[in-house]
Amino acid sequence: MEPEDLLKRLPHSFPFRMIDRILKIEPGKKAIALKNVSADEPYFQGHFPKEPIMPSILILEALAQTGGIAFHSSFEEEEKGVPFLARVDEFRIKGKVVPGDSVILEAEIERIFSNLANIKVRAKVKEDVVAEGTLVLGKGPFRISS
């Protein structure tokens, strides 16, 4: 499957698609994606108007989406299900992301067990690591019980 086809399988759309392009994919192993941060991003209106900084939770979301692409690439093409964030472990923000930055998002699958995957993630601006940690993603129809 081509990288653009995988990107189309993400259920997110504007303004919550945090990936602009998939740079590299090794199916079932890892994904590297790109997020170009623009001053026009809607969250910069309030975070923070005089010194805009990409919210840490959105960096985490971009990494989870990249991890989802890596995990989804291990599924059979006809297999149903959507990767979703199940747990965040040892996640650290190490720098800030500002308008004009190009963020490289890396996600490497450490192991897949049943319908879950441990994924090591890292976000970099140039060569500086701005965030890293481990995520657990689940797979399947996402249901909210009442």
At 77 the pLDDT is 58
**138 vs 140, residue with greater confidence:** 138
Beta strands 82-93 and 116-125 are unpaired
At 142 the pLDDT is 55
CA distances from 102 to 56, 61, 107, 113, 116 (A): 15, 16, 16, 33, 30
- Does residue 141 surpass a pLDDT of 80? no
In a domain, 84, yes or no: yes
**With a threshold of 0.85, does the pTM exceed it?**
yes
Taking the CA atoms of residue 99, residue 90, residue 65 and residue 127 in that order, the dihedral angle to the nearest 10 degrees is: 40
In a domain, 104, yes or no: yes
**How far is 12 from 101, CA to CA, in rounded Å?**
22
The predicted-structure confidence for 47-94, as pLDDT tens digits, reads as follows: 898 999 999 999 999 999 999 999 988 776 556 677 899 999 999 999
At 146 the pLDDT is 47
In a domain, 10, yes or no: yes
At 80 the pLDDT is 65
In a domain, 97, yes or no: yes
Q: What is the CATH number of the domain that holds 97?
A: 3.10.129.10
**Host domain of residue 125:** 3-140
In a domain, 44, yes or no: yes
At 15 the pLDDT is 80
Provide the pLDDT confidence category of residue 144 given band limits of 50, 70 and 90: very low
- Does residue 143 surpass a pLDDT of 60? no
What's 31-75 look like in SS3? EEEEEECCCCCHHHHCCCCCCCCCCHHHHHHHHHHHHHHHHHCCC
Residues marked as catalytic? 47
